[in-house]
Copies of this chain bind each other. A is one copy, B any other.
Amino acid sequence: MILIINDDGIFAPGIKFLSGVASKFGRIVVVAPDKPQSGMGHAITINSTLRLQPTNYHGAEIEYACTGTPVDCVKMAINQILKKTPDLILSGVNHGSNSSINVIYSGTMSAAIEGALEGVPSIGFSLCDYAMEADFTQADKFVASIIENALKHKMPKGVCLNVNIPKLKAEDFKGIKVVRQAKANWVERFDERKDPYGKHYYWLTGEFVNFEPEALDTDEWALANGYISVVPTQADLTAHNALTKLNYFENHELDRTSR
């Protein structure tokens, strides 16, 4: 049983494409937000309630629209709807890139990370094309290959995949690269406007900056060079390299034993 989730909402074309490709590998369950949830990161709904609505937009055996976030959808699918873990969770295909730093803002990837936390092999797919009419089919062979390999091999525990697909014609893909998340960030600029009542409001906009354009082992490099990028991704945010460098925070003058 393959669970399909996304963050663009249950009506998004990316979900239709992904469930189409995945249906060759197993029975399909779709649980997706009832409205767009882009940029929701790992948000969960704890201060308000959740609802489920059975739907039939994708002809899946089990299909629900959920009022919550992508992570809520994973939790509800496993713990409330299915009451068991699926064999695989596929999230997306997202309309737009989730490479490098975008992973932490991405509802698509947060759903995949949540799947890995629940012990299910999970993959987030994103196409570097924000258009609603984006052509996912150009990459269908690669998407099928990644799904097949995820089902055939045992993925490391707690690890999911962040798969990004460059906007290319089928014949122009060079292949698939397993790479790391590039160090990058957004430089924000707020677009300030006035509403009809004279009050200010703001749109978040920004420019993407790759801090290591020379590195050859990153997702940004892979995408810029015609490859589909696969980044093994997990929820350990510890900066392990920094652990031994921060001993100065252990202020022993304040320790009980020393007083």
For the complex, give the distance between the alpha carbons of A40 and B46 in Å: 9
Contact B249 A149, beta carbon cutoff 8 Å: yes
Known: A76-B202, A254-B175. A239 touches B233 (CB 8 A): yes
Q: Which residues of B contact A44 (CB under 8 A)?
A: 39, 41, 105, 204
Q: In the assembly, how many copies of this chain are there?
A: 2
A180 within 8 A of B: yes
Known: A42-B41, A80-B192. A234 touches B234 (CB 8 A): no
Produce 1/0 per residue, A197-231, CB < 8 A to B.
00111111000000000000000000000100011
Contact B42 A188, beta carbon cutoff 8 Å: no
Known: A51-B200, A72-B204, A251-B145. A181 touches B238 (CB 8 A): yes
Segment of A11-19, A22-30, A87-95, A152-160 engaged in the interface with chain B = A152-160
A252 within 8 A of B: yes
A237 within 8 A of B: yes
Produce 1/0 per residue, A149-170, CB < 8 A to B.
1101101101101100000000
B113, B178, B204, B243: the one within 8 Å of A232 (CB): B243
Contact B230 A246, beta carbon cutoff 8 Å: yes
Q: Which residues of B contact A189 (CB under 8 A)?
A: 79
Contact B254 A141, beta carbon cutoff 8 Å: yes
Interface centre among A49, A113, A188, A242 (most CB of B within 10 A): A242
Across the interface, name the chain B residue whose C-beta is closest to A66: B202
Query: Interface size class for chain A?
Result: 35 or more
Contact A46 B38, beta carbon cutoff 8 Å: yes
A236 within 8 A of B: yes
Contact A46 B39, beta carbon cutoff 8 Å: yes
- What are 13 A-B residue pairs whose CB atoms fall within 8 Å in the complex? A38-B47, A39-B46, A45-B204, A50-B201, A104-B113, A141-B254, A159-B239, A172-B256, A174-B257, A178-B243, A178-B247, A178-B250, A234-B237
Chain A interfacial positions (CB closer than 8 Å to B): 36, 38-47, 49-52, 69, 71-72, 75-76, 78-80, 101, 103-105, 110, 113, 117-118, 141-142, 145-146, 149-150, 152-153, 155-156, 158-159, 161-162, 171-181, 183, 185, 188-190, 192-193, 199-204, 226, 230-243, 245-252, 254-257
Q: Which 10 A-B pairs have the closest CB atoms?
A: A41-B42, A175-B255, A232-B242, A232-B239, A41-B41, A234-B239, A49-B201, A39-B46, A43-B43, A145-B251
